[in-house]
Structure 1
Amino acid sequence: MGMLINIDNGGTLTDICVLTENNFYKTKTLTTPYDLSKCFFDGLRSASKAVYGEENVARLLAEVDHIRYSTTQGTNAIVERKGPRLGLVINKGSKLPARLREQDPELYDFLIGDRVSEVELADVDDESKGADTTSVITRLTSVGANRIVVCFESEKADEYEAQFKRIAFDNYPRHLLGAVPMLFASELADDVSTE
C-alpha cells in the first residue's frame, strides 16, 4: 500500500490522517466554511509538516496514491434543517419528485417543496426554444431556490443535461446567476434510473 490521505471536513475542525506503509500521522486544522478549499490546503500543509518535519505540499502530493475527502457539513445542514433551498428541473412525466418525497416527506418538503419545474426534452434539443426552456430557472429562483438541480430521467440524460447546461449558460451567464449554483445529476452519478 502506498500513501493514503484521509481528510474529514467537520463543522469546526478538519481532521487529516496520513497512512504510509509503516506510519500513521494525524493532524487538524480549522474548518473555513466560507472557503472549503482553504482548510483543505491548510490540512495538506499541516500533513506535510507531520510527515516530513517541514512543509512540503508538492512532495506530499507527488508521493500520495489516494486522497479521500469527506465532510459532515452536508449531513449537519440536513439534520439541522439549515441547508439550501433546492430547485429541481426535471423532464415532463418524471416520477422523481414522488419517489424522493416517498422516502422522507418532511425532508423533501424542506429541501425542495414546490420548487419543481418540468421541461419537455424535445424542447431542450430545439435551439429556437432555448429561452423558454431556461425560463424555469427564473421561476425557480423567484420562489426561493438558491441551488438548481437538473435531473432528466432518460437513457440520454447526460446529453440532454449537457444541452440544457449550454443553453442555460448562454441565457444566464455565470455572472448573472451569481450565487445560484446549478448541479447536473449526470455529472454526479451515472446510474440514472428511468423507471
Structure 2
Amino acid sequence: MGLLVNIDNGGSFTDAFATDGERVAHIKSPTTPHDLSQCFVDSLDRLSRELYGAEDLARLLGETDHLRYSTTSGTNAVVEHKGSPVGVMLIAGEEQSLYGAADTLGQTGLWPAMVPAAPVALSLNNNELDETELMRGFTTLIAHGVSRVVVALPTREQELIVKDAVLERYPRHLLGAIPVLFSHELVRDDSNARRLLSAVVNSYLHSSMEHFLYGAERITKQHHLRSPMLIYRNDGDSARVAKT
C-alpha cells in the first residue's frame, strides 16, 4: 500500500498527515497566505523529513497513492470580500427576490460584495429570447467592471437558448476575458435559489483559487505523483482540480 497524504490548509496553520497503514506522520506548519503554494510545499517537505529523516519531496510523492487537500481559503475570501466581482442574469421578475435567495441572504452585505451590479433581467416568451435585451445587459455588466457573468434561469433549456445567443453574438475570442457560467452546467439542483448562489460563489472565488490549485497540481506532477491531487469539496466529496 502506498501513502495516503492529507493536507488541511487553515488561516494560521497548515496540517499535513500521511500514512501507509503502518507508518504515521503528522506535521503542522505556518500558513503563508501571500503564497499558498509555499506552505503547501513546506508541509510536504516536513512530512518527508518525518518519514525518511531528511527532506525528500520526490520520494514522498513517488510513494503516494492519493493526495487530498482541503482549505479554508475560499471561506476566508468570502468573509473578507476578496473575490472577483460577478454579474448576474436572471429570468425577468426575479431581480429583487433572487428566486427567494434574498430572504436567505438577509442584510449580511455578502450579495452586494459579490454582485456589485443590479441583476440583468432576461425575457423568454415561448422560448424566444430578446437578444437586444441580452446585449444591453452584457454592456451594462461590463461597464460595472464585473470579471465573470452567471446566467441562472429556471430551466436548462432556457439557459441553452441564452448560451447559443451568447456564443453567436460574443464569440469566445471576444468574450474570453469575461467568462460566462451557466448555473445548470455547474449544479444539478432543482432549487433555483441554491443553484444561483452556488454559481455566484463559485465564480466569485474561481480566479483566486484557480491560480493556486493548478500551481499546486503542477508541483505534484513535476515530482511524479502517480494519481491526480484531489480537492475536498463543501459537500464532503473530493474531486480533481479541474472538476471542482
Who is 1:20 aligned against?
A: 20
Identity, in percent, stands at: 28
Counterpart contact for 1:14–1:29, Cα < 8 Å: yes
- Deviation, structure 1 residue 154: 0.9
Deviating more after overlay: 160-169 vs 137-146: 160-169
SS at match of 1:140: helix
Unaligned runs of 5+ in 2: 194-244
Counterpart contact for 2:15–2:26, Cα < 8 Å: no
Counterparts of 1:118 and 1:33, CA distance in 2: 38
Counterpart contact for 2:152–2:159, Cα < 8 Å: no
Who is 2:89 aligned against?
A: 89
- Deviation, structure 1 residue 78: 2.8
User: Cα–Cα, structure 1 residues 161 and 19, in superposed 2: closer, same or farther, change >3 Å?
Assistant: farther
Who is 1:70 aligned against?
A: 70
Who is 2:113 aligned against?
A: 110
Who is 1:151 aligned against?
A: 152
User: Cα–Cα, structure 1 residues 44 and 148, in superposed 2: closer, same or farther, change >3 Å?
Assistant: farther
- Deviation, structure 1 residue 94: 5.1
Unaligned runs of 5+ in 1: none
- Deviation, structure 1 residue 92: 3.8
- Deviation, structure 1 residue 31: 3.1
Counterparts of 1:138 and 1:100, CA distance in 2: 25
SS at match of 1:172: helix
Q: TM-score, normalised by structure 1?
A: 0.64
Counterparts of 1:183 and 1:48, CA distance in 2: 40
User: What is the number of equivalent residue pairs in this alignment?
Assistant: 185
User: Cα–Cα, structure 1 residues 102 and 194, in superposed 2: closer, same or farther, change >3 Å?
Assistant: closer
- Deviation, structure 1 residue 29: 5.9
Higher relative contact order (CA 8 A, sep 6+): 2
User: Cα–Cα, structure 1 residues 104 and 13, in superposed 2: closer, same or farther, change >3 Å?
Assistant: same
- Deviation, structure 1 residue 185: 2.9
Post-superposition Cα deviations, 1:9-67, rounded to whole Å, max 9, x if no partner, equal 33455433334313133243643546x55654564455445444443447626632351
Counterparts of 2:111 and 2:190, CA distance in 1: 19
User: Cα–Cα, structure 1 residues 79 and 60, in superposed 2: closer, same or farther, change >3 Å?
Assistant: same
